[in-house]
Chain A
Amino acid sequence: MKETVITVKRKKIEIWTLVACFVIGNIINVYAIQKYDTPYSELFWSLGYVVTVTVALYVVWSVIRLVIYAILRPFCKKR
């Protein structure tokens, strides 16, 4: 099995992607709190849902990126 190297740049991209998903999850939560007139303590108590959404968004975004990578790869090799 070949050694794989995760570059610092890749790590940063993935961490920032995860943070972005987490922020989006929280924005959705704030919107829901306002829309359904529920207490702001849900920013804390609904963290479980937010984390779930964060992971879901990250997975969806990763899949999209993999698909794009798979499509573009042949063209990259030609170059």
Chain B
Amino acid sequence: MKKELSRRDFLKSAGLIGLGAGTLLSTVPWMEALADENTKKTIGEKVRIGIIGPGSRGRFLMNLIKKNPKAEMVAICDIYQPSIDKALKIAPKAKVYNDYRKLLEDKEVDAVVIATPLYRHYQMAMDSLDAGKDLFCEKSLSYTIAQCYDVYQKYKSTGRIFFVGQQRLFDPRYLKAMEMIHSGMFGEIQAVRAFWFRNGSWRNNVPDPSLERQLNWRLYKEYSRGLMTELGGHLLQVGTWAMQKLPETVMGAGGLTYWKDGREVDDNVSCIFSMDDGRRITYESVISNKFYGLEEQIMGNLGTVEPEKGMYYFEDGTVNGVTPKPAAGFMQMMKDVQNQVFEKLPFAGTSWEPEVAKDVKGNYIMGEDYKINTDGSQELINAFVEAVITQKQPERIAEECYYASAMVLLGYDAIEQGKKLTFPHEYRLNYLNHKHQAK
């Protein structure tokens, strides 16, 4: 029978029952916000949240907030009446605003959640922090890397709580996978191959053609950076989290190859992010073929992790602690002799045997009975609420979130300019291998 994962199970699986689990907390210190010892202290407290942009993603977040007894939604803000009507069904007592600045003036609002189209994030985030509100902004953080840097600096100068919607930071599969990776189980991570493939137009039906750009904002460059900002940030954050290293350069290419329906953003993108030691993270997204789906393939010299599938594989084929016996030495030698005899044949290429992927059963990151019932979104919201109550910004979360957005925006620029770009030194933080240098 499949197990449901309770909150306590989640914390237990992540090693957070009791703060003795220092190994995990040293690499994911943001999880401390959800540790039992800390959450018990905030029982009875209440955070009053305003939602700016309760569209489909905004309402998804509202449903998560509703499940947290320490949070209540006191205000919503939107300019599209159907979204307001649907949001009021989730938070019937919330005050309704049509101008987010009025919401920010509301003294009853402690914190805001921004889930508007990308191009609106920057001004709203800056104004929210200036208004003294704690901030949860959906990814990507802003429309340009310079704007992201401004928001990060504003967070530092105001000292408010600052989260971005990078839910994989709280996904139990990813937490466990990272614990394994950082313990050296898979050797040194050499490359991360991240991809997100879908087969769909990504287009919303609009009730009136005049609302096309407003409702399908993701498809237009004026409002969105397309597949880079809408999907790429999640995967690239996982890549740098696994490697514990930030990229120096990025190259990219993209095109509008299938969905030629008047949209402006590419439906087919690919980027290569390179570290200073030559290791790489690649990101690819195509939305006219879904065969390979979504994954981050984290490749070490001893093994591979596929956290989205919840699986890991060892190079020597070990499954559940059992390593398959190698072929007898006699047979290995015969095979080598055979290869040496035939490898000079011009049609044989570099390897006599085709090196197709091995069909290995693999190992389960969370155990075979684990049923995926969270992608970390609920825990992300819960951590934000705890942080707002305690006014303690969890370590590293702002930096992880900043870089997730900065990397996709740099990748977008590389695609648009058709150039290999170096991560600008003026937009680097003093984080991991990066050092900030003023322009």
Contact = CB atoms under 8 A, between A and B. Distances in A.
B317 to A, nearest CB: 16
Contacts of A46: 328-330
B302 to A, nearest CB: 18
B326 interface: yes
A35 B330 CA distance: 10
A24 interface: no
Contacts of B326: 36, 38
Contacts of B331: 49
Interface string B303-340: 00000000000000000000000101111111000000
Interface in A24-45: 28-29, 31-38, 42, 45
Q: Is the interface of B mostly helix, strand, loop or mixed?
A: helix
Contact of A45 (B328, B332, B333, B334): B328
B330 A50 contact: yes
Interface residues of A, number: 15
A67 B141 CA distance: 83
A2 B334 CA distance: 43
Nearest to B333: A32
Contacts of B332: 32, 36, 38
A74 to B, nearest CB: 36
A3 B83 CA distance: 106
Nearest to A45: B328
Contacts of A36: 326, 329, 332-333
Nearest to A36: B329
A7 to B, nearest CB: 36
Contacts of A37: 329
A42 B328 contact: yes
Interface string A32-71: 1111111000100110011000000000000000000000
Nearest to A25: B330
Contacts of B334: 49
A49 B331 CA distance: 8
Q: By CB atoms of chain A within 10 A, which of B329, B331, B332, B334 has the most?
A: B329
B339 to A, nearest CB: 14
B196 to A, nearest CB: 42
Contacts of B329: 29, 32-38, 42, 46
Contacts of B333: 28, 31-32, 35-36
Contacts of B328: 32, 38, 42, 45-46, 49
Q: By CB atoms of chain B within 10 A, which of A33, A35, A38, A46 has the most?
A: A38
Contacts of A42: 328-330
A36 B329 CA distance: 5
Interface string B326-368: 1011111110000000000000000000000000000000000
A11 B47 CA distance: 99
Q: By CB atoms of chain B within 10 A, which of A29, A33, A36, A45 has the most?
A: A36
A50 B326 CA distance: 18
Contacts of A28: 330, 333
Contacts of A35: 329, 333
Given A46-B329, A50-B330, 16 more contacts: A28-B333, A31-B333, A32-B330, A33-B330, A35-B329, A35-B333, A36-B329, A36-B333, A38-B326, A38-B328, A38-B329, A42-B328, A42-B329, A42-B330, A49-B330, A49-B334
16 contacts: A28-B333, A31-B333, A32-B329, A32-B330, A33-B330, A34-B329, A36-B329, A36-B332, A36-B333, A37-B329, A38-B332, A42-B328, A46-B328, A46-B329, A46-B330, A49-B334
Cβ-closest 9 pairs across A and B? A32-B329, A38-B329, A36-B329, A32-B333, A33-B329, A49-B330, A36-B332, A32-B330, A46-B330
